[in-house]
Chains A and B, each alone.
Chain A
Amino acid sequence: MRQLSDAALVLRCIEGDTDAYGEVVRRYQSAVYATAHYYVGRYGVAEDVSQEAFWAGYRSLRRLRDPNRLGAWLKEITTRTAANWLRRNRSRLMAETPLPHRRTISIEDARKGPDAQLQREDLYARLSRAIDTLPERYRLPVMLRYLQELSYDEISAFTGESRDEIRGILHRAGRQLRDVLCNDDNEEGQAAWPHVHK
């Protein structure tokens, strides 16, 4: 069967078709998870926040005025859910001592040895810091692109920006990220991604 539109899925959900909400979850779980991870991922609770966001979305589905903007609406709900989680856990997070690296090594990385694991964790930490230096509007599209490898159309549907805007944002963000990381490397004396001057 051909894929139903967001609006058709919303109407079915409101009519009590929970299978339709399963399709909503499948369609947007990557984007919702990446958004949750952007806000709380470092604390390893992105999946919990994603589930909470989907439940909150289902509870208030009848409030959705424009079913064609389901993705952008879920983004707002995820953001609010993540913000609430951070507020609830503020005291615990402030008392937490950050670990330099994850305590577990995934099987994939274990095969490549601990060095590869540490390099990736190090790069991920630096990339996270570099993303934080980007303009606010660029950050979420970058996370959606690199964390979950969403297509421009999927990012557009979730953020509410047009496809052309997303393309421009990712173009500019890619250059800025390289500049930030190159500066880091130059300070450490190891330029990994040389900039080609024209």
Chain B
Amino acid sequence: MATCSQVDSFFQAHLDGELDPSEAVILEEHLRGCGRCRAEVSSLNTLHHEFVGACRMHRLRGTLEADVLAHLPDMDPALEHGSHPTDPGVKAVRFSYRLPVSLVALAAMLLIGVMGVALLPKTEPAIADDAIGMVVYMSGAGAVQKDPETSRITPIELTSLVKRRDDVETLGDTKIAIALAQGSTIKIAPHSLVTIEDSRTVYVERGMAYFDVERGQRHFYVTTPTGEILVYGTSFVVSVTPDSTTVAVYEGNILASTPEGMTAVTHGKHSILRRGQLPTPPEDTTDESLISWCASMIPDKEALALFYQTIGVQSLSTIAVPAEAVYAVRNLRGREVVGIQIDWNFDGSPDSHCGYFLQVTDSTDNLLFLDTIHGNIFDQSEVEELILTPKDGPISGVDVIHVRLIPDFDTGSIESTIRVKAVVR
């Protein structure tokens, strides 16, 4: 049996309901045989309940959310582009930098608009303001969508609009493809149920879906009952059963996670996500059936033109620039890594920004540490040196540090070079 001094540090956590199960067993066993500790716990328990009771009337009642959101201010425009608030000249320079981008976007919108008008059906359907996608391919006639606000179920047909939080269900042997604002496409297999949360988030309840996510677009999330997939621009298939999610990657890479942990899955590999378990280590994908079902799903040209004319033009402000990659391999001789240091060297262009996606793995590609920052947060006014510290303490077995730079979202350019090194004990 544990001694009194050994269990003494368990008392407060016991009262707070925060003891680990193994500690709870030890404490319970000790208390059965120790009257003094029982009295001590009882005394602390009385105090604890008195404290909580005394504080109750001062507690937050209700929620602050509605009041906060009702008067939400604009994000500071000076900070939006990373400029220094005391430097009025930066804004003007920035404008000249962005002007060509705006003109190109405008010209492209006009061009696509003209093409769209030429290809339009004779009767132009009404377009809902809140539409974020359109059905651009359909085979079979057994698909329905459910409006989350009215719970109204309507049959899906070619050029049907999809709104935020719409449920889409494919019945029988029906397959459909949905083009989303911001340039991504989802192809949904028969017998699937998918919720389009917004143009960057999709929930797959069951069945199978193929995702072609526009590279250069901001993060895209796919969630399932058993895991979450974070995407930076790639194509992959998600197959969902009640117990597991299989994600197979055909281009680029994705990050697959369960509440227990995460793994990076690269081109040609797949991982399985199960409840209560780590994602399985990535393995080669040999099951052709995962991809073959969607090979013949070519979007209808007229539907696609209508999509570009009505919804897809929203994506033209996103500039797709392939991110660069830096690999640094270090011989650490078994020493533990306490942090990853990034030294920045901005290129001096006005208002430079850069973000990064960093992965630290061991020699067998197991993910040890992951960190990312958005492409328009970190700017030249920040410190030149950044040290990232793993949340769970030092990591051992480090073999590869992989950093991908994320371009400034406004200019589409990589505006800094970096040097990366592991900080060891």
Which A residues form the contact surface with B (CB < 8 A)?
Answer: 1-2, 4, 7-8, 10-12, 14-15, 17-18, 21-22, 25-26, 29-30, 32-34, 37, 41, 46-47, 50-51, 54-55, 58-68, 106, 108-109, 120-121, 123-124, 127, 145-149, 151-152, 167-168, 170-171, 174, 177-178, 181, 192-196, 198
Contact = CB atoms under 8 A, between A and B. Distances in A.
Given A58-B73, A181-B47, A25 B54 contact: no
Nearest to B15: A174
Interface in B363-414: 371-374, 376-378, 382, 386, 391
B287 interface: no
Interface string B64-84: 110111011111100110100
B295 interface: no
A29 B63 contact: yes
A58 B72 contact: yes
Given A2-B228, A65-B377, A148-B60, A8 B40 contact: no
B75 A61 contact: yes
| Central interface residue in B15, B18, B197, by most chain A CB within 10 Å | B18
A8 B37 CA distance: 45
Interface in B321-369: none
Contacts of A29: 60, 63-65
B65 A26 contact: yes
Contact of A7 (B36, B64, B372): B372
Nearest to A29: B64
A149 B49 CA distance: 11
Nearest to B201: A1
Contacts of B223: 1-2
B218 interface: yes
12 contacts: A11-B374, A14-B374, A29-B63, A33-B64, A47-B64, A55-B73, A65-B386, A67-B374, A68-B391, A170-B16, A192-B50, A193-B46
Contacts of A106: 57
Contact of A25 (B69, B80, B391): B69
Given A15-B218, A59-B75, A195-B43, A146 B377 contact: no
A55 to B, nearest CB: 5
Main secondary structure, interface of B, reads mixed
A68 to B, nearest CB: 7
B44 interface: yes
Contact of B377 (A30, A54, A62, A168): A62
| Central interface residue in B53, B60, B71, by most chain A CB within 10 Å | B60
A108 B57 contact: yes
B76 A62 contact: yes
B100 to A, nearest CB: 23
A59 B73 contact: yes
A159 to B, nearest CB: 14
A104 B55 CA distance: 16
B203 A123 contact: no
Closest 6 CB pairs of A and B: A196-B40, A124-B54, A33-B60, A123-B54, A171-B12, A25-B65
Contact of B58 (A41, A54, A64, A194): A41
Given A61-B75, A62-B80, A171-B9, A14 B377 contact: yes
Contact of A193 (B9, B37, B47, B57): B47
Contact of A64 (B4, B53, B67, B377): B377
Contacts of A121: 54
A59 B76 contact: yes
A97 B228 CA distance: 56
Contacts of B198: 17
Contacts of A60: 75-76, 79
A198 B36 contact: yes
Contacts of A66: 373
Contact of A127 (B36, B54, B230): B54
A181 to B, nearest CB: 7
Given A120-B57, A127-B51, A193-B43, 14 more contacts: A1-B203, A18-B72, A29-B63, A29-B64, A34-B60, A37-B58, A46-B60, A55-B73, A58-B72, A59-B75, A60-B79, A109-B57, A121-B54, A192-B50
B75 A62 contact: yes
Contacts of A4: 221
| Central interface residue in B37, B57, B67, B221, by most chain A CB within 10 Å | B57
Interface in B97-125: none
B219 interface: yes
Contacts of A10: 374
B349 to A, nearest CB: 19
Contact of A21 (B40, B58, B72, B259): B72
| Central interface residue in A10, A145, A192, by most chain B CB within 10 Å | A145
B47 A54 contact: no
A152 to B, nearest CB: 5
A148 B59 CA distance: 6
B419 interface: no
B52 interface: yes
A25 to B, nearest CB: 5
B75 A147 contact: no
Interface string B210-254: 000000001101010001101000000000000000000000000
Nearest to A34: B60
A180 B221 CA distance: 51
